[in-house]
A and B are shown apart, each in its own frame.
Chain A
């Protein structure tokens, strides 16, 4: 089955700096890659996603890149703000009704 690895496990950046979180996946059939933000005690919230027919997608300060050949995808957050502090999970999906396989999460801390 699919295995998703995520790095780093913790990331501390100063406000205004950029943050990059990387994930690799094992199943070449995976074709949908969402990113979720989870604040303490709350639900995972979808922040951006990318499908395998696209190499990059951007939404304001957030961008995701996908390298299908290398089987890795990354989340980029620019101009970080304190409210970006949360745990971020990447995930991979192989089919319309099939499960999401999650990475182990990255705890992002944005300091003033």
Chain B
């Protein structure tokens, strides 16, 4: 069964550094998403992406964040200057007809 895959599984970075989280969505899906989950809390929406552009973003998704689909298979989330409060599990998801399937996540730790 096809799955959304994310790399790396765990990333430790120093405050102020840039990080890029990578995702390979399921191949025939058209909608792509990034969510995050702070430890022990609910899953929060960051951004949705469709037809090569952002379709919706949350208040969390400020100018420090950007997304890109650099080729036909990858979908990336970049955080330009990480803060301590960016530490969380970041989930990529892809979907069709609003059914969303999640990747296994990247645990980002900002120190």
A46 touches B101 (CB 8 A): yes
B14: interface (CB < 8 Å): no
Please determine whether B99 and A46 come into contact, CB atoms closer than 8 angstroms: yes
What is the number of residues of chain A that contact chain B, defined by CB distance less than 8 Å? 23
When distances are taken between beta carbons in the complex, the residues of chain B under 8 Å from A44 are 43, 91, 102
- Least CB distance from A63 to B in Å reads 18
B43 touching A89, Cβ below 8 Å: yes
Indicate whether A53 reaches chain B with its CB closer than 8 angstroms.
Answer: no
What is the bound-complex CA distance between A99 and B58, given in angstroms?
9
Total number of residue pairs linking A and B with CB closer than 8 Å: 56
| A97 with B45: CB separation less than 8 A | no
A98 at the interface (CB under 8 A from B): yes
- The binding surface of chain B is classed by DSSP as strand
Contact A45 B102 (CB under 8 A): yes
Output the nearest chain A residue to B33 by Cβ-Cβ distance. A99
Contacts of B99 in A (CB 8 A): 34, 46, 49
Bound-complex Cα distance A89 to B45 (A): 14
Contact size range, B: 20 to 34
Checking A89, A99, A103 against B48 with a beta-carbon cut-off of 8 angstroms, the contacting residue is: A99
A89:B42 contact, CB within 8 angstroms: yes
Assess whether A100 is in contact with B97, with CB atoms less than 8 Å apart: no
CB neighbours of A24 from chain B (8 A):
none
Residue-wise interface mask of A (37-66) relative to B, using a CB-CB cutoff of 8 A (1 in contact, 0 not)? 000001111100100000000000000000
Contacts of A49 in B (CB 8 A): 99
**Residues of A with C-beta under 8 A to B101:** 46
Contact across chains for B56 and A97 when beta carbons are under 8 A apart: yes
B13 to chain A, nearest CB (A): 20
| Interface residues in chain A, defined as those with a beta carbon under 8 Å from any beta carbon in chain B | 32, 34, 36, 42-46, 49, 89, 91, 93, 95-105
- Chain B positions near chain A (C-beta within 8 angstroms): 31, 33, 35, 41-45, 48, 50, 55-56, 58, 91, 97-105
